[in-house]
Amino acid sequence: MANPGSLYVTMQPQPGLPLPQFDEWYNNEHGPTRLKLPHIFTNGLRYRAADDQQPTYLAAYDVTRMSHLETETYTSLRANRSEREADTIGQVDVVRYFWDLVMSKQSPLFVPIEQLGDEEAEGLTLVAVQLTPKEGDGSLEAVRKWYRDEHIDMLAKVPGWLRSRLYTTSSLEKGVPTKFIALHDYAKTNGLGGPEYKAAISTPMTKDVFANYATISSRRIYSLFYVFGAGSRDLHSLSLLPAKKSTWKSPDGKTFTTNSPSPVLESSITTPDGLSIPHRLEGNSDSKAPTVAFCNSLLTSLHMWDRFIDIFKAQRPQYRILRYDFRGRHSIPSPPQPSTLDVLADDISHLLSALRIFKLEALVGVSMGGATTLKFALKYPSKLGRFIACDFNAASSPANTSAWKERIAVAETDGGAGISQLAEQTVERWFHPATVQNKPDAAAWIRDMVAANDVQGFRYGCQALWDYDMKAQMKECAVPGLLVVGEGDAKGALVKAMDGFKGQLGEKGTELAIVPQTGHLPMCEDPEGFWQAVKDVL
């Protein structure tokens, strides 16, 4: 029961089910729900028939221990299906198989498929051969021996061969006759049908096995077309749905989709320390579209970018857009742990991995998000094309740490009701006087956002801005970046500070763009002015 194995599911949508609806449900709800259980599923792969046979679709999940599939953690997924899932799967002919792994061999060129980018993975070939042992002693061992001693080694000579695995009917399948399935992975261009392959299936030992010990009950050829991550990300299928069919919220409230008026996908991922981080995907729905991500400031949510994103989407429709909420916005891990810039950079990396985004086109951050952006560029340069870091300091000061402690005290007064007082003080400190006077709606918008922050989350989240210093590392930065600051941030003091360290970034330093008549959040106070400052980089 401790064997690793495979959950192998064939599917044939019934004629009345639109394929975009089937794909969007499977890619954004069903698959990611399982990949959120990494102790059970190490990957999830979707295949489409390449042999004109039915069932047309296959989903294959590698399972760490097949006994996990008897636990409540897994069985509750089916028992607590959403209404949408129950309705959709009722329109699909589904057959599930549980297989225990017997043996595996792979080419030195093989890379686990979940580690490949989508362009590398999509189109890989899978040959699935089911064998039924004949009655009589020795049939099971004869099949195993053939694969172990000859057949896999012969297939390994076929051009493009990557891996072969042999499975047997799982011990979870009570009262089911034992069968085998062999799964053979090949590159997109391969020698199936060529001389090496023909040699592998025509040896004397092969002929003996099929004459005396087993029959082929099915042989299927599939092409890989989708690799799951733990995060929902399929904007393409969502974009093909009519507005009414596209709008959906999961029973736990953590996932929301709509295609009205354009595709938007809100969901969450879970970090290794168990914290749920909400995120939002929108913009270009092409799965291969380059992605630009945004980091908000402490005490705000991902919605602080709303007004700027409207401009950005109109001006740069080629980009997919990713936003997320910092840890501490809604909750903190248990037991509580202070945030650090390293942890915040790691959170971005975990989010990208869950969404299978191997490299960002650009990362834009402000305030604590600006510091996090620089830390991410320093720590994960291979995952980032360029960055824009706004209204932050490259190092903290003792005075700044003391100020944050005082703000915690304000927020925690009256059992946490003091967060409203802190919101008033924060907006007054952040915003340019001209914004407060001429754009009171902008000030009220951010004030309400700050007041909605979790108080304990603020206590532990703001500690990322205590006692840090990135100046010594900045010369090592290999990612090109732009610094941006509001003209009136800290009454001009931050302009001076950022001008002082702009020359320390990388080998040649970088530019500092100043947004007139704005303070700490220029993208909120003057979205158009901020766009003018960053458009050449984006």
Q: Which pTM value belongs to this model?
A: 0.95
Query: Residue 298 in contact with residue 368, Cβ under 8 Å?
Result: yes
Check: CB of residue 132 under 8 Å from CB of residue 214.
Answer: yes
DSSP-derived letter for residue 317 is T
Q: What is the pLDDT of residue 332?
A: 87
Residues 207 and 245: beta-carbon distance below 8 Å: no
Per-residue model confidence as pLDDT tens digits over 47-70: 999 999 999 999 999 999 999 999
Q: How far apart are CA 328 and CA 438, in angstroms?
A: 31
Three-state DSSP at 246 gives: helix
What pLDDT was estimated at residue 78? 87
Which run of H or of E encompasses 402?
A: helix 398-412
**400, amino acid identity:** N
Reported as a single tens digit per residue, the pLDDT across 128-186 is: 999 999 998 899 999 999 999 999 999 999 999 999 999 999 999 988 999 999 999 99
Mean pLDDT of 247-270: 95
User: CA-CA distance, 509 to 528, in Å (whole number)?
Assistant: 26
Does the pLDDT value for residue 2 go beyond 90? no
The distance of Cα 511 from the centroid of its chain, to the nearest Å, equals 32
Q: Is the pLDDT of residue 114 over 80?
A: yes
pLDDT in tens, 435-486: 999 999 999 999 999 999 999 999 999 999 999 999 999 999 999 999 999 9
Q: Edge-to-edge, what's the strand order for the sheet holding 256-258?
A: 248-249, 256-258, 264-270, 276-283, 320-324, 291-295, 362-366, 387-390, 481-486, 512-515
Per-residue confidence (pLDDT) for residue 334, from 0 to 100 = 87
What pLDDT, on a 0 to 100 scale, did the predictor assign at position 133?
97
Integer Cα distance of 252 and 491 in angstroms: 44
Closest CA to 464 of 284, 328, 277, 323: 328
Average of per-residue pLDDT across 272-281: 95
Report helix, strand or coil for 382. Answer: helix
pLDDT of 317: 98
Tokens of 42: 């190490």
pLDDT tens digits, one per residue of 313-337: 999 999 999 999 999 999 888 899 9
Q: What percent of the chain is modeled with pLDDT above 70?
A: 100
The confidence score (pLDDT) of residue 214 equals 97
What's the CA gap between 302 and 300, in Å, rounded?
Answer: 7
Neighbours of 333 (CB within 10 A): 17
* CB distance 43 to 112 below 8 Å: yes
CA pair distance 452, 299, nearest whole angstrom: 8
d(CA 183, CA 163): 8
Q: At 432, is the pLDDT very low, low, confident or very high (cuts 50, 70, 90)?
A: very high
Residues 321-377 pLDDT 10s: 999 999 999 988 889 999 999 999 999 999 999 999 999 999 999 999 999 999 999
Query: Is there a cis peptide before residue 335, judged by omega within 30 degrees of 0?
Result: yes
Partners of 258 in beta bridges: 264
Per DSSP, the residues of 51-76 read SS-SS-EEEEEEES-GGGGGSHHHHH
* Dihedral class, residue 531 (left if φ above 0, else alpha if ψ from -120 to 50, else beta): alpha
At 39 the pLDDT is 95
What integer pLDDT is reported at residue 137 of this predicted model?
Answer: 87
The pairing of strands 387-390 and 362-366 is parallel
Model confidence at 521, in pLDDT bands (50, 70, 90)? Answer: very high
pLDDT at res. 261: 95
Specify the pLDDT at position 136. Answer: 86
Burial of residue 372 (number of CB atoms within 10 Å: 0-12, 13-18, 19+): buried
What pLDDT is recorded for position 253? 92
Mean pLDDT for the chain? 96
Cβ–Cβ < 8 Å for 179, 133: yes
User: Looking at the predicted structure, is the pLDDT value of residue 1 above 80?
Assistant: no
Name the residue among 494, 283, 518 with its Cα closest to residue 392.
494
Q: Calculate mean pLDDT across residues 506-533.
A: 97
CA dist 372 and 298 (Å) reads 11
- The number of beta carbons lying within 10 Å of the beta carbon of residue 195 is 11
Angle at 67 between CA 229 and CA 94, to 5 degrees: 60
Quote the CA–CA distance of 52 and 41 in Å, as a whole number.
29
3 state SS of 458? helix
